[in-house]
Amino acid sequence: MYLERRGRSEVLAVALAAILSAAVTAGAQAPAQSPAPAPSPSREPGPVKGEVVAPFEAQGVDGTTYHVDYAKGTTTILLFFLSGCPHCQRMIPEWARMFEERHDSLRILGVIMDREPPGFFSANPIPFQVVRAPSPDFLRSYKIARVPVTMRVAPGGKIEDVAVGNVDGIRLGDLFRP
């Protein structure tokens, strides 16, 4: 027999060489394929201009319960943040500056989404009113998945404008316009 005349290792080597040769030849003749398109990044859900948000009740960091509605004649700016978020900590002084320059028709309200560490408000003076997010369901209903969020809400609860993340001074000016 063939295997008896040649050693098994020689047969395996010849077979392997034939397979590799066929693969290289087939690869050289195969048409070039364009790379698969990159998957589109998934858009995280978030608040969208034109949506309507409901009034809510929340406890202020001062312990007082506040009813937050969107009354006629007043535009509300909601500022969602986490105490441990470095992006939020960068926005707090910018929000404070805009608060100091605000028009009387604007109501500015911070919504803290976590429990701040001791001394947080001493280290980060916040001149505007801050309430605690009432619940995870509240945050889901407002579609808050990332922070910081600067949201402009018109009378009746319709979102007029929204920005997620760090916002430059010009964009903040648009959000805080009278």
Whole-angstrom distance, CA of residue 161 vs CA of residue 15: 69
Q: Both tokens of residue 93?
A: 């002084």
Radius of gyration of the chain (CA): 30
Q: Both tokens of residue 34?
A: 């364009």
- pLDDT computed for residue 40 by the predictor: 39
Average pLDDT, the chain: 83
pLDDT in tens, 86-109: 999 999 999 999 999 998 999 999
Q: Which residue has the higher pLDDT, 34 or 75?
A: 75
Which residues have CB under 8 Å from 6's CB, separation 6+? Answer: none
- pLDDT computed for residue 45 by the predictor: 74
- pLDDT computed for residue 23 by the predictor: 42
pLDDT exceeds 60 at position 120: yes
What residues form DSSP beta bridges with 153?
76, 159
pLDDT exceeds 90 at position 118: yes
- Across the range 17-36, mean pLDDT stands at 44
pLDDT in tens, 32-58: 444 444 433 445 579 999 999 999 999
Q: How far apart are the two ends of the chain, measured CA to CA in Å?
A: 97
- Across the range 78-93, mean pLDDT stands at 97
- Across the range 16-29, mean pLDDT stands at 44
- pLDDT computed for residue 156 by the predictor: 97
- pLDDT computed for residue 42 by the predictor: 42
Which residues have CB under 8 Å from 134's CB, separation 6+? Answer: 56, 57, 58, 59
pLDDT in tens, 141-160: 999 999 999 999 999 999 99
Query: What predicted TM-score, i.e. pTM, was given to this entire model?
Result: 0.75
pLDDT exceeds 70 at position 84: yes
- pLDDT computed for residue 44 by the predictor: 57
Q: Which of 104, 111, 98, 110 is nearest to 168 (CA)?
A: 98
